[in-house]
């Protein structure tokens, strides 16, 4: 009696850790055949995706020489019906045992999206789990077969970012896969990175905050063009500047702890400024976006520093003059930003410092140093 399995995923893109995962599943559950189902994603779900044609091609290249892995006809995520697929397979293979392989980190979503009891009537649900989450999964999903194994898994999002930044991905993609990606310009370049950041920002912010981030991105792009800075970097930094804005204090403190970042005394008593620092750490250390001008612009968009670059000033001011801002002096500041960026920063800092003085709030040393330097430079020029 044959053991036949089905494994569906977005495969955006498929990578070698997924193939290793399937090879382990074959060994652990004595599988004779594995059927892959690449899902076509709509732009409503994710901007940074590729066509089903390219997904199928990359799957073909990934499973080359693995004769026990086959590719089933593609489905869109909108009309995907796992029960129907399993029933059809069972009908075609009446004397076989049917298995449904689920990616370990997808289990919690799988049980919410699908009728697990109905699936179990047709097939056994199986997975291979990294040791660090094995106990948690076995307790949470007692009706799913889970076997522990040490896996070096990579998040597809992180892989797409690596490709966008032209980093070495040979550990996760074969040479033919990389060749197809490069020749067809899939995932490569700052435009791809912007699309990835768009999806990340959308998932991590509310509707109102996401709209604000887009307005800041647009304002930053316009200022970057005027002041001869990288416009795509400005779009990305503007989009991601508030990616951590709505996270809890506990969440941000965990980011600081996990990445050995120590807040200054002034920062520690003012959680409102944490999101810029947490956002910069999240982008660089967790997402792997190591473009320094973007990281620093996100980090210093709320609390500036003494030696701010032109690019950092652009993001700092774009946050204050974006289309959604409606405070008293915003029209004046927008006009000023187009005439003289330094004057716009000085004007904004005067308002901030004045407001803090009225409330007897603390003023960070870098903020004072930034203001003093800009004033001294202004007097020197005059």
- Fold classification of 3-154 is Rossmann fold (3.40.50)
Q: Which pLDDT belongs to residue 110?
A: 87
pLDDT higher than 80, residue 379: no
Q: Which pLDDT belongs to residue 63?
A: 94
Sign of CA dihedral 71, 76, 77, 82: negative
Quickly count: other Cβ atoms within 10 Å of residue 60's Cβ: 15
Number of residues in the chain? 382
Q: Which pLDDT belongs to residue 78?
A: 56
Mean pLDDT, residues 78-87: 80
pLDDT higher than 90, residue 2: yes
Q: What percentage of the chain reaches a pLDDT higher than 90?
A: 68
Yes or no: is domain 190-381 CATH 3.30.420.40?
Answer: no
Q: Note whether 3-154 and 190-381 share their fold.
A: no
Q: Which pLDDT belongs to residue 107?
A: 85
pLDDT higher than 70, residue 382: no
Q: Which pLDDT belongs to residue 42?
A: 67
Say which residues have a Cβ less than 8 Å from residue 161's Cβ, sequence separation at least 6: 193, 196, 287, 288, 289
Q: Which pLDDT belongs to residue 328?
A: 87
pLDDT higher than 90, residue 292: yes
Q: Which helix (H) or strand (E) holds 233?
A: helix 231-240
pLDDT higher than 90, residue 356: no
Quickly count: other Cβ atoms within 10 Å of residue 326's Cβ: 7
Q: Which pLDDT belongs to residue 245?
A: 97
- Rounded CA gap, 96 and 35, in Å? 14
Mean pLDDT rounded to a whole number for the chain = 91
Task: Specify the pTM.
Answer: 0.87
Q: Which helix (H) or strand (E) holds 127?
A: strand 124-129
- Rounded CA gap, 338 and 344, in Å? 9
- The tens digit of pLDDT for each residue in 139-176 reads 888 888 988 888 778 889 999 999 999 999 999 999 99
- The tens digit of pLDDT for each residue in 169-198 reads 999 999 999 999 999 999 999 999 999 999
pLDDT higher than 80, residue 41: no
Q: Could you tell me the residue ranges of all domains in the chain? A: 3-154, 190-381
Mean pLDDT, residues 272-288: 96
CB 12 within 8 A of CB 43: no
């Amino acid at each position: 009696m044959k053991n036949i399995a089905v494994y569906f995923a977005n495969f955006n893109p498929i990578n070698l850790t997924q193939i290793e995962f399937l090879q382990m599943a074959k060994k652990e559950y004595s599988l004779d055949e594995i059927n892959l189902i690449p899902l076509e994603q709509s732009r409503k779900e994710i901007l940074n995706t590729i066509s089903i044609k390219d997904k199928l091609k990359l799957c073909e290249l990934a499973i080359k020489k693995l004769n026990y892995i086959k590719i089933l006809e593609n489905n869109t995520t909108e009309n995907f019906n796992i029960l129907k697929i399993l029933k059809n397979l069972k009908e075609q293979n009446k004397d076989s045992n049917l298995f449904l392989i689920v990616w370990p980190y997808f289990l919690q979503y799988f049980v919410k999206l699908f009728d697990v009891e109905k699936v179990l009537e047709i097939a056994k649900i199986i997975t291979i789990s990294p040791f660090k989450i094995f106990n948690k999964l076995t307790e949470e999903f007692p009706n799913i077969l889970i076997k522990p194994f040490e896996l070096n898994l990579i998040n597809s999002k992180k892989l797409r970012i690596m490709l966008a930044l032209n980093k070495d991905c040979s550990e996760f993609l074969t040479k033919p896969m990389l060749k197809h990606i490069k020749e067809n310009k899939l995932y490569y370049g700052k435009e791809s990175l912007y699309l990835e950041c768009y999806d990340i920002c959308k998932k991590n912010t509310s509707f109102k905050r996401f709209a604000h981030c887009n307005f800041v991105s647009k304002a930053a792009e316009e200022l970057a063009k005027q002041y001869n800075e990288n416009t795509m970097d400005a779009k990305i930094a503007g989009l991601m500047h508030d990616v951590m804005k709505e996270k809890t204090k506990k969440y941000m403190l965990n980011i600081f702890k996990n990445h050995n970042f120590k807040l200054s005394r002034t920062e520690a008593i003012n959680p409102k400024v944490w999101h810029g620092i947490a956002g910069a750490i999240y982008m660089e250390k967790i997402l792997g976006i190591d473009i320094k001008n973007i990281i620093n612009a996100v980090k210093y968009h709320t609390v500036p520093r003494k030696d701010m670059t032109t690019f950092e000033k652009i993001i700092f001011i774009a946050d204050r003059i974006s289309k959604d801002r409606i405070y008293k002096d915003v029209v004046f500041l927008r006009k000023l930003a187009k005439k003289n960026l330094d004057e716009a920063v000085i004007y904004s800092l005067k308002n901030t410092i004045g407001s803090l003085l009225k409330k007897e709030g603390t003023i960070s040393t870098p903020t004072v140093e930034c203001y003093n330097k800009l004033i001294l430079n202004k007097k020197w020029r005059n």
